[in-house]
Every structure is written in structure tokens, then in C-alpha cells.
Amino acid sequence: MNRRALLGLGAAFLVSGCLTGKEGTEYAVVSQKIGAPRPGQSRIIIMSLKDAWLDRTTCDAKVDGVALSRLIPGTYVYIDRPAGPHHLVASQTLFPGDSVLDFNTEPGRTYFFSIRPSDRSRAMQGGGMAFGLLGMGVMAAASSGADNKGPVDFVPLQEGQARTAMAELLQAE
């Protein structure tokens, strides 16, 4: 094959990864269908935005011990829980630690969180890219004293900002 054919094939391969079918449901449709949280309940929404390439991440999340669907870039999950204190945990397979957030909710309100790779996660990824598994292990040990020992940071979002971002997201299956 000539050079142009290889470049064209490579470009087609890269673009085809972005053309996945819609398997989830847009939030606007879901929110109309389910309505507001029931009395005494609050809604918690966690999203993985399609931001810059380095800000994309995947994780498994639990709210108060209840497992949610896996978050991948471009998706969101939601859960309605009784108002009051909540414990949010995010983990990744083979990542040596969990991200944890404890927060309180008020009845009838919706709380939005975006996930982004934590500093520790970025350090481990950088070590892995530069020096393979050994580099990843060294960076895991070097960053073990980090405030957030988990793979993601939870970023609270204001409702207007979150609804704009969610217009492009799909519900995780």
C-alpha cells in the first residue's frame, strides 16, 4: 500500500471510534419522563464529560453502597436517594485506591458532579506512558500520599452549567 492509502485508513480508523451508536438516553428525555425527585428524595447525577482528551476517564461508582452503571466518556448516571448525608465512591479496575466524597443533600434538589482524572491518576498514566508498568508502579508509590488516593476527582457543577453539558451526554447502560 502506498503512504496515502495508509494515512487514509488510519484516519478512517480514528474517526470510526467516534461514530458509535446511541445506546443511552439523552437527559432531557429522561428528565421529562421521570419528573422531579419524589418528596423527601434528592437526585444525584454523575457525568463523565467529553472534554479534552486528557480529562476523559472511566470509572465504576457507588452511592451509599448502591452500584451505578459504569461511567465512560460522554455518559451520565443518576440515582434518587433520601435527602441527607451520602457517601459517593468511585473506583477503577487495577487502580490502587478509591475516590470518596461525603456530602449532604436537601429534598427535591438535584446535585450534579463531573468526574475528571485525579492528580494521582495522571501521574500514574504519565509514568506508564514513559516507562511502562515499572513507571506506573513507581508513580503509584510516589503518589500514595496524595489527598485523593482514587482515580477521579468529583467536580460539583451548577445546574445551568450541568444541563448545558448534559445536552450531549447519554445515560449509561
Three-state SS for 77-124 is EEEEEECEEEEEEEECCCCCCCEEEEEEECCCCEEEEEEEECHHHHHH
State the first-to-last Cα distance of the chain, in angstroms, to the nearest integer: 40
Tell me which residue of 3, 26, 5 sits closest to 167, measured CA to CA. 26
The side-by-side arrangement of strands in the sheet containing 99-105 is 66-67, 60-63, 84-91, 99-105
134-173 pLDDT, tens per residue?
656 666 666 666 676 788 999 999 988 888 888 888 888 7
> Does pTM top 0.85 for this prediction?
no
Quick: pLDDT tens for 91-139: 998 888 899 999 999 999 999 999 988 887 777 676 667 777 765 666 6
